[in-house]
Amino acid sequence: MAAAERIVFLGPPGAGKGTQADRVAGVLGVVKLATGDILREAVRAGTPLGRKVEGYMKQGVLVPDDVILEVMAQAMEKAGWRFILDGFPRTVAQAEALDRMLSERGLALDGVVFLDVPDEEIVLRLSGRRVCPKCGRAYHLRYDPPKEDNRCDVCGVELVQRPDDREDVIRKRLEVYRAQTEPVLAYYENSGRSPLRVDGVGEVETVTRRILEALGVTVG
Ligand code: ADP
Ligand code: AMP
């Protein structure tokens, strides 16, 4: 691939999108834009946006498209339109809007990566996930523990469990994913941009290598 500056990561909640987007963004020299992290920060700071989205997030349902589009348009602009998108687009309407925003600027996506992970693994991953409330980095109690007990390797802040990583909300999020986000895969497929399907099961490093290979990126 000549350039890999605008990539979308798709996959069910807990597939490892955030974990991998951090690593791949570092290799490509672009910014990771994680919609969920942006919204959680707004909730934490108690901004008007945060107050608007908190209820949806707690229930594990999607925030309305118009709210998301405004937030992401600003974030992409700030990133200079070079990014890995993690958690956006999550509906076909969002995918169409993203295409419009890019084409208005003479830009296009360079790749869509789909991280494939089976449901039983998803539940194990999400129930053991702990996140840094400051930088958003995800850890796992067993699969990817922090160096110091329950503290972020980067910020030193105490890790927390996300309120939507409870089993009943996890089930709801998987349902929402099947109904509203899976059709985004077909949207890209049908518009000649078949998602690069990457097996998301295995060591974090191994999955990163698979993604870079799928994108045709050679690392020095
Ligand atoms: P997403 O952003 O897709 O919701 P995360 O990147 O937050 O997913 O990962 C979900 C959980 O799974 C986290 O606890 C993370 O540490 C863990 N995880 C990520 N990649 C792997 C992997 N390859 N093997 C095992 N656990 C993983
Ligand atoms: P995530 O961190 O990606 O698991 O997202 C957490 C929650 O934020 C989701 O369950 C939704 O409530 C909300 N959210 C994140 N991204 C989007 C999006 N693109 N569209 C609608 N809601 C979103």
Q: Which two three-digit tokens encode residue 12? A: 């069910």
Beta strands in the chain (DSSP E): 6-10, 31-34, 83-86, 111-116, 129-131, 138-140, 196-199
CA of 128 to the centre of ligand 1 (A): 9
> Which residues pair with residue 78 across a beta bridge?
none
Residue 85 within any structural domain of the chain = yes
Residue 40: predicted pLDDT: 94
Q: How confident is the chain (220 residues) per 10-residue block, as mean pLDDT?
A: 84 97 95 96 96 97 98 98 98 98 97 96 94 92 94 96 93 96 98 97 97 89
Cβ(127)–Cβ(135) below 8 Å? no
What is the domain count for the chain?
A: 1
Residue 66 within any structural domain of the chain = yes
Q: Is the CB of 36 under 6 A from ligand 2?
A: yes
Distance, CA of 24 to CA of 73 (rounded, Å):
22
Residue 41 within any structural domain of the chain = yes
Residue 14 within any structural domain of the chain = yes
Residue 95: predicted pLDDT: 98
Q: Is the CB of 35 under 6 A from ligand 2?
A: yes
CA of 138 to the centre of ligand 1 (A): 7
Question: What ligand is nearest to the CA atom of residue 164?
Answer: 2
CATH at residue 93: 3.40.50.300
3-state per-residue secondary structure call for 10-63? ECCCCCCHHHHHHHHHHHHCCEEEEHHHHHHHHHHHCCHHHHHHHHHHHHCCCC
Residue 133 within any structural domain of the chain = no
Residue 218: predicted pLDDT: 83
Domain that holds residue 73: 6-122+181-215
Query: Looking at ligand 2, which atom is closest to the CA of residue 173?
Result: 10
Residue 149 within any structural domain of the chain = no
User: Crossing angle, helix 92-104 and helix 182-190, to 10 degrees?
Assistant: 40
Residue 220: predicted pLDDT: 66
Residue 193 within any structural domain of the chain = yes
